[in-house]
Amino acid sequence: AIATALVPSALGVIRCSGAGCLGLLEGLFSRPELVAAAPGNTIHHGFICDLKGVRLDEVMIAVFRAPHSYTGEEAAEIFCHGSPAGIRLILDALMERGFRAAEPGEFTRRAFLNGKMDLTRAEAVNELINAQTSHAHALALDRLTGSVGLEVHSIRDGLVRIMASLAIQLDYPEEDTGPVDVDLASLSSLEARIGALSRSFQRGRIYQEGVRIALAGLTNAGKSSLFNQLLQHDRSIVSDIHGTTRDYVEALVDVAGIPVRLFDTAGLRETTESVEGEGIRRSETVIRAADLVLYVIAADRGVTDEDTRRLNSISETRPVIAVWNKSDLRSDFPGDALAVSAVAGTGIDELNHRIATTLLGEGGQMPGDGRPGLQGSRHGADRSSPVIDSARQFDLLRRAETAVRETRLGLEQGVSVDAVAVDLQDALSAIGEITGEVTSSDILDVMFGSFCVGK
């Protein structure tokens, strides 16, 4: 499979994997003896030729011997020039030689099936590729290096120990051993850890998929200036004339590590002008679809009755942050007011912080900025606890948490050992599905089907 984009570039990479792939490759390489005798993790220079011996490109071939490769199999990577035409010629030669095209995610699927990684790490590969910000990248890299897998395995080990205690009662029912000897404190702790990992899904989704934030407010509140300030370049037209913005403008921006689709909307007011009225109607649609609304108040004119009405209406259906813009034109503000100056750039860091805490909560993981609880590490990511970004993992964690809760309640209420063991076994089964210890080919087909072909 082609592992790089099929566009003109300095280099292209073609990946090959499977028993006997190096033997097939020898017949296309100008120096076959090098590939045949090459130890693993070595690189060799030569030419790729077609079956007639015609040179197609000057290449470097990286040789990997099983099990020390990404897939755990015999593998090779061909580094050629990034000409789409040249890459296609090499692919055609490989197919004629006996290779077949890889399925989406097949290399990572083989790595999982060959025990090179569990499913949490396999999913993290795709999450890392699709990360939109440095913080999302850092969290995905943590998952790839095993942060979620280690926590899940640790939870599973704890559940297995408790199941062993129940097994004694199940295996020797004729012996009166008294009350079931299970450490309820440990069970409660495991339940809490499963719950914490499950709740991290909301943060993980926000960092990976991003959110929609709309700037709203009356005309001449400075929304377009604030929009440009958040983007760090001029995108919206700024003017003192009321109604300058006739339609919404959108752009992608990184806010505290969160991928944000930011919308600058038309100023809200009653108007009889048809074009401006249509822009306001479109903007109201954008506001209703936003995950968060920044309601911009012009500090020089203060909160008007219309501001209050609009704020109350919007806040009934979605989170709203009131932003007092043009703070350079006023010195006195209400005690809890968030004051910024889009022109001077003051207050923007505090605004970014407020956005992040509103979306994630005060305990949410954000890049460190010196505030308590927000200490960062490499790439600005808080590594204190793992964060999941897989809906599959989230569903399984919720199932496991419910089963563990039922187990705990059953033990506290004196329910029969066999009934309690059924609940605990369900929890173990769900946990096993997270890492892939318990899975089916259908699940793997769906999961790896979303990968790019080269992975």
Task: For residues 204-233, give the mean pLDDT.
Answer: 90
Angstrom distance (rounded) from CA 362 to CA 379: 20
Residue given tokens 């003017």 in the structure block: 239
pLDDT score at 452:
76
Kindly report the CA angle at 134 between 129 and 137, in degrees rounded to 5? Answer: 35
Angstrom distance (rounded) from CA 426 to CA 411: 16
Task: For residues 427-454, give the mean pLDDT.
Answer: 79
Least confident of 2-16, 297-311, 396-410: 297-311
Please answer whether residues 252 and 262 qualify as being in contact, where contact means their C-beta atoms are separated by less than 8 angstroms: yes
Angstrom distance (rounded) from CA 374 to CA 377: 10
| 9 residue type, one letter | S
pLDDT score at 300:
87
Those residues whose C-beta lies under 8 Å from the C-beta of residue 133, and which sit 6 or more positions away, are 207, 254, 257, 258, 259
Please answer whether residues 303 and 297 qualify as being in contact, where contact means their C-beta atoms are separated by less than 8 angstroms: yes
pLDDT over 60 (residue 244)? no
pLDDT over 50 (residue 380)? no
Task: For residues 445-449, give the mean pLDDT.
Answer: 73
Angstrom distance (rounded) from CA 133 to CA 356: 14
Task: Give the up-direction half-sphere exposure of residue 54: CA atoms within 13 A in the CB hemisphere.
Answer: 7
Task: For residues 229-254, give the mean pLDDT.
Answer: 66
Tokens, residue 28: 């296309």
The band of 378, judged by pLDDT with boundaries at 50, 70 and 90, is very low
Percent of all residues in the chain with a pLDDT value above 70, rounded to a whole number: 85
pLDDT score at 178:
53
- Topology given in CATH for the domain delimited by 9-101: Gyrase A; domain 2 (3.30.1360)
Q: Which of 437, 454, 362 is nearest to 113 (CA)?
A: 437
Task: For residues 11-39, give the mean pLDDT.
Answer: 94
The band of 274, judged by pLDDT with boundaries at 50, 70 and 90, is low
pLDDT score at 322:
93
Please answer whether residues 404 and 187 qualify as being in contact, where contact means their C-beta atoms are separated by less than 8 angstroms: yes
CATH 3.30.1360.120 domain extents, the chain: 9-101
Task: For residues 425-436, give the mean pLDDT.
Answer: 94
CATH 1.20.120.430 domain extents, the chain: 147-205+388-439
Superfamily of domain 147-205+388-439 in the CATH hierarchy: tRNA modification GTPase MnmE domain 2 (1.20.120.430)
The band of 76, judged by pLDDT with boundaries at 50, 70 and 90, is very high
Tokens, residue 239: 């003017």
Those residues whose C-beta lies under 8 Å from the C-beta of residue 33, and which sit 6 or more positions away, are none
Angstrom distance (rounded) from CA 301 to CA 240: 14
The band of 389, judged by pLDDT with boundaries at 50, 70 and 90, is very high
- Topology given in CATH for the domain delimited by 210-346: Rossmann fold (3.40.50)
pLDDT greater at residue 451 or residue 10 = 10
Task: Give the up-direction half-sphere exposure of residue 305: CA atoms within 13 A in the CB hemisphere.
Answer: 0
pLDDT greater at residue 369 or residue 307 = 307
Over residues 307-362, the pLDDT tens digits come to 999 999 999 999 999 999 988 887 777 777 899 998 899 999 999 999 999 998 86
Over residues 117-132, the pLDDT tens digits come to 999 999 999 999 999 9
312: enclosing H helix or E strand: helix 305-315
pLDDT score at 271:
59
Angstrom distance (rounded) from CA 452 to CA 3: 9
pLDDT score at 272:
53
Report the chain's mean pLDDT, rounded to a whole number.
Answer: 86
pLDDT score at 182:
75
Sheet bearing 75-82, strands edge to edge: 9-17, 75-82, 55-64, 42-49
- Per the omega criterion (within 30 degrees of 0), is the bond before 179 cis? no
pLDDT greater at residue 195 or residue 365 = 195
Q: The whole model's pTM is what?
A: 0.80
CATH 3.40.50.300 domain extents, the chain: 210-346
Exposure string (b/e) for 235-269, b if CB count within 10 Å is 16 or more? bbebeeeebbbbebbebebbbbbbbbebbbbbbbe
